[in-house]
Amino acid sequence: MSDPLLEIDDLTVQYETDGGMLTAVSNASFTISEGEFFGLAGESGSGKSTLAKSVIGGLDDNGQISAGSIKYRGEEIQDLSESELSERIRWKEISWIPQGAMSSLDPLQRVSDQALEIGNVHTDLPDEEIREKLKETFDIVGLQESRIDNYPHQFSGGMQQRAIIALALFLEPELVIADEPTTALDVIMQDQIFKYLDRMKAELDVSVLLITHDISVIFESCDSVAIMHASQIAERGTTDAVHANPRHPYAFMFKEAFPDIREPKRELEVIEGHPPELMGDVDFCSFADRCPWAAPECRAGAPPSEPVNDDDASHVTACVRKDEAYELYQSEAAPTQGETGGQSVTQMGEVD
Ligand SMILES: Nc1ncnc2c1ncn2[C@@H]1O[C@H](COP(=O)(O)OP(=O)(O)OP(=O)(O)O)[C@@H](O)[C@H]1O
Ligand SMILES: [Mg+2]
């Protein structure tokens, strides 16, 4: 892996709502390098799609980047106009498979015509070359080349999803943002899609930001991972480091909430409660109300992301109790509410 491709630095994204400014992403930072597969995981509502949309200029009208920066190949892109983003960045540099992408195929147009439309707007390539490129990517995602002239209804759901992936890939972008690309599919099809994503990594040398609530998928297919809880990145690092040595209570509980082929007999964790809806600045740990190990300082400021091992920025966590929480969890010695001084701490596991 080499130069940084995408650098998100201290990014805060908010939505204007009737109740005030809702914070969907709070001071998030991470970098995706060339050729890297980066997974972004977290429960529903944690801000994953908002973060992705802010990169590609696709925030809803009531959304705004309130602070921080997004750099693509060193250039700040968060303030680019709609037309600049469309001309220079979208499809050619960064393509996006939006959440619920099945509905993004136009049912009245052949897939090849949809590709021609995109190709004609974003490149100077002649039509025949655009068709050739689409055929090549159809092949990569396991669709017959001859089917580029099909209408969407002629495909099964899994094939439609692969056609969408092919459309995201055929202009050879540097970075593909795939937001829950397999959610609507059965397990076998999900597995196949990930095989195609792997093939894409090998053959096209593309970087991927893979967004999913299913962290086991990320542990299997990504180089790095960030785990988000209610707008904040709780923990981030190489997949191996986060898998082997998670430090933030949300990170290890979330990890343990999913099956792991390496530990087939383990019981799955249940994280009690729901992520809060956050209005205004988030100047506390957003997991504090659900965390069995919350201490008063967790609510006294947003915990900074700090290296798990001294000076090693490849694995960071935003927990003031990073040096002790995992051991406490493993020994099932979660402190009671009274001991922590917290107000609404949820007790996990068995209590006498
Ligand atoms: N247009 C909007 N206006 C107001 N609030 C919004 C808007 N879009 C999203 N939100 C809120 O922002 C927060 C983050 O939403 P987001 O869609 O980014 O989460 P997510 O992690 O992608 O969830 P999921 O896994 O369900 O897709 C949620 O509280 C959501 O209700
Ligand atoms: Mg989403």
Q: Ligand 1 pocket: which of 48, 64, 183 to mutate (most atoms <8 Å of CB)?
A: 48
Least confident of 9-18, 163-172, 181-190: 181-190
- Residue 138 belongs to a domain: yes
| Average pLDDT for the chain | 88
Q: Which of 49-53, 79-83, 168-172, 181-185 has the highest mean pLDDT?
A: 49-53
Q: What is the pLDDT of residues 191-222, one digit of tens each?
A: 777 787 777 777 878 899 999 988 988 998 89
Q: Please compute the mean of the pLDDT values over residues 251-262 and round it to a whole number.
A: 86
Question: 62 CB under 6 A from ligand 1?
Answer: yes
Residue 1: predicted pLDDT: 53
Q: Is residue 149, in this structure, part of any structural domain at all?
A: yes
What percentage of the chain exceeds 70 in pLDDT? Answer: 93
How far apart are the CA of 49 and the centre of ligand 1, in A?
A: 7
Q: How large a percentage of the chain has pLDDT more than 90?
A: 62
Which tops the pLDDT comparison, 257 or 283? 283
Nearest residue (by CA) to ligand 1, atom 30, is 45
pLDDT at 149: 97
Residue 80 lies in a domain: no
How would residue 265 be classed by pLDDT, with cut points 50, 70 and 90? confident
Threshold 0.75, pTM exceeds: yes
Burial annotation 338-347 (CB, 10 A radius, 16+ → b, else e):
eebebeebee
Phi, psi of 338, deg, nearest 5: -60, -40
The two three-digit tokens of residue 265, written as one number: 């007999």
The whole domain housing 157 covers 105-172
Q: Check pLDDT > 90 for residue 154.
A: yes
pLDDT for the residue numbered 132? 96
Nearest CA-CA partner of 94 in 173, 207, 165: 173
**Looking at the predicted structure, is the pLDDT value of residue 341 above 50?**
no
Ligand 1 centroid to 51 CA: how many Å? 10
Within-domain flag for 167: yes
Of 53-57, 70-74, 257-261, 268-272, which gets the smallest average pLDDT?
257-261
256, part of any domain:
no
Whole-number Å distance between alpha carbons of 15 and 185: 30
Q: Which of 44-53, 115-124, 176-185, 304-313 has the lowest mean pLDDT?
A: 176-185
Query: Is the CB of 47 within 6 Å of ligand 1?
Result: yes
Q: What is the DSSP letter of 149?
A: G
- Nearest CA, atom 28, ligand 1: 45
Per DSSP, helices labelled H in the chain are 48-56, 82-84, 111-122, 127-140, 157-169, 187-204, 215-221, 239-244, 249-256, 325-330, 337-340
Provide φ and ψ at 142, rounded to 5°.
80, 25
Q: Is residue 143 part of a domain?
A: yes
Please tell me if the CB atom of residue 247 comes closer than 6 angstroms to any atom of ligand 1: no
* 133 located within any domain: yes
In a domain, 122, yes or no: yes
User: Is residue 232 in contact with ligand 1, taking CB distance under 6 Å?
Assistant: no
Phi, psi at 68, each rounded to 5°: 95, 180
Residue 232 confidence (pLDDT) above 70: yes
- Report residue 318's pLDDT band, with 50, 70 and 90 as the boundaries: very high
Segment 225-229 shows an average pLDDT of 97
Pocket test for ligand 1, best of 49, 65, 97 (most atoms within 8 A of CB): 49
Q: What pLDDT was estimated at residue 311?
A: 82
- The answer to whether the CB of 8 falls within 8 A of the CB of 31 is yes
Between 5-14, 232-241, 263-272, the lowest mean confidence (pLDDT) is in 263-272
User: Which ligand has the shortest distance to the CA of 98?
Assistant: 2
Give the number of domains in the chain.
1
Tokens of 32: 């995706």
Residue identifier of the C-alpha nearest atom 14 of ligand 1: 47
What residue's CA is closest to ligand 1, atom 6? Answer: 15
Burial class of residue 139 in the structure, from the number of CB atoms within 10 Å of its CB (0-12 exposed, 13-18 middle, 19+ buried): middle
What's the half-sphere exposure (Cβ side, CA atoms, 13 Å) at 316? Answer: 18
For residues 269 and 294, what is the distance between their CA atoms, to the nearest angstrom?
18
The closest alpha carbon to 48, from 207, 243, 286, 226, belongs to 226
Ligand 1 pocket, residue 22 CB under 6 Å = yes
Q: What residues flank ion ligand 2 with Cβ within 5 A?
A: 49, 99
49 lines ligand 1 (CB under 6 A): yes
Q: CA-CA distance, 288 to 28, in Å (whole number)?
A: 18
Residue range 121-152, pLDDT digits in tens: 888 999 999 999 999 999 888 899 999 999 99
